[in-house]
Copies of this chain bind each other. A is one copy, B any other.
Amino acid sequence: MEKNEIKQLTANQAAGAKLASRKLALLANDQKNKILAAIASVLKKQASEILFQNEIDVEAAKEAKLSEALIDRLTLNENRIEEMIRGVMEVASLEDPIGTIIADWTVPAGMQIQKIRVPLGTICMIYESRPNVTIDATALCLKSGNAVILKGGSEAINTNHALVHAILPAAKEAGLPDGAIQFIGTTDREAVLDLIKLDNLIDLVIARGGEEMVRFIRQNSIVPVLAHGKGLCHTYIDKSAQIDMATKISINAKCQRPGVCNAMETLLVHKDIAQKFLPIVCGLYAKAGTQIRGCEITKKIVPQVIEATEEDWSSEYLDNIISIKVVESIDEAIHHINKYGSGHSEAIITDDKEAAQKFLKEVDAAAVFHNASTRLHDGWVFGFGSELGISTQKLHARGTMGIKEITTTKYIVYGSGQVR
């Protein structure tokens, strides 16, 4: 397609979504749940066609020699389709956030004011590789009364196409307003640039993907963006930590799934516990095949480690690599985290309640943990049902983003003739 054709098509789809959003905002919870049930049911029925299309994408990805990690994220199987279906049903079972009265008061002038929760309108989801996002995002947007525009990665185009074309007729039959789910079928990157300029039609762009993609969208979007940002997470082992707990959490936070945003990248260790703790934890890291890059003091205690450079403190490895630094004090640990961290998830391991309080208060991050693994920063673990990602920004949504984060509010004022 020509650039102009793409622009026109994209704008038409966004306009269709905007129009549908007015109707979606008024749907009753029962109606929305009926649509979600229809989506879940048709995914089950059409699983084999979806898996067939997914194989085409996976074969192409293998031929293009894309990374193992990406191919893993791209690949569907019956289990993963089951998970999607469970996710849709889970979203259906959530309380309808729309119409909730958040505050209700009467002012001296005699008017009653209510602050109520309403949908944002039209949400554009821009994401990479994982096809489950197509279904997760659709379910969360519909439940919260928003229209959704789906722009997935080109590597998953056949799978995403199959998913959307499976659910669309079923959802429509169950009462979905026309145009409420828009699928951007072109793999041309131009379409992304077009979408993020449509601030009169799109209320929110959610960017979920690699650092480069997210930065590009942040810098070029006129539409407000919520970004699933990078996670450069730390665990600080205080001098009053229990060695067993510190070891278990340090291994879990790094090794359980190193490629995700809430995995730990840097371990900070108080100097008074380093001599005892580091040989134990480094031994276990070595067993787990983790590459260790340590500061000078770490290297003195465990000579086998590679020497860390300044660059290591600001690296999100997303890999089975850890950097370790011995610190003089809890203040140095907090300072290091606030300087190098990405404001995602940070943990302190200690039995000293005062030290814990200081850390929880002074560390500037979306989630701070006392005696628990940063890997637990997750919508499912927190009890929010599905999640749209984890926001490292401070405005509107911070930390794990669920259904409430794609709503806004509205003041409703009941008067009896008041003027100013």
Contacts and interface: CB of A to CB of B under 8 A. Distances in A.
A28 B316 CA distance: 35
A118 B394 CA distance: 10
Contacts of A111: 372, 376
A144 interface: no
Contacts of A256: 419-420
Contact of A375 (B372, B409, B414, B419): B419
A368 B413 contact: yes
Given A218-B222, A365-B410, A368-B410, 6 more contacts: A25-B364, A121-B394, A249-B417, A369-B415, A372-B415, A376-B419
Nearest to A21: B364
A1 interface: no
A118 B109 CA distance: 32
A341 interface: no
Interface residues of A, number: 68
Interface string A188-231: 00000000000000011000000000000011001010100000
A26 B376 CA distance: 27
Contact of A107 (B203, B249, B371, B383): B383
A222 B227 CA distance: 13
Interface stretch (A274-282, A285-293, A302-310, A395-403): A395-403
B107 A393 contact: no
Given A338-B22, A381-B109, A371 B410 contact: no
A227 to B, nearest CB: 11
A366 B406 CA distance: 16
Given A26-B362, A365-B410, A394-B121, A418 B107 contact: no
11 contacts: A118-B364, A203-B394, A203-B395, A245-B417, A249-B417, A253-B419, A256-B420, A367-B410, A368-B410, A370-B412, A372-B415
B376 A248 contact: no
Contacts of A382: 107, 113, 411
Per CB-CB distance, the 5 closest pairs between chain A and chain B, nearest first, are A372-B415, A252-B419, A367-B411, A396-B396, A375-B420
Given A413-B369, A415-B371, A420 B203 contact: no
For the complex, would chain A's binding face be called helix, strand, loop or mixed by DSSP majority?
Answer: mixed
Q: Which of A22, A376, A393, A395 has most chain B Cβ within 10 Å?
A: A395
Contacts of A372: 111, 413-419
A373 interface: yes
Contacts of A151: none
A377 interface: yes
A415 B375 contact: no
A395 B408 contact: yes
Interface in A339-388: 360-362, 364-373, 375-378, 381-383
Contact of A408 (B245, B253, B394, B400): B394
Nearest to A360: B412
A15 B93 CA distance: 47
A371 B411 contact: no
A371 B105 contact: no
A204 B413 contact: no
A167 interface: no
A184 interface: no
Contacts of A232: none
A36 interface: no
A7 B412 CA distance: 44
Interface string A40-63: 000000000000000000000000
A150 interface: no
A147 interface: no
A120 interface: yes
A145 B411 CA distance: 26
A420 B373 contact: yes
Contacts of A219: 222
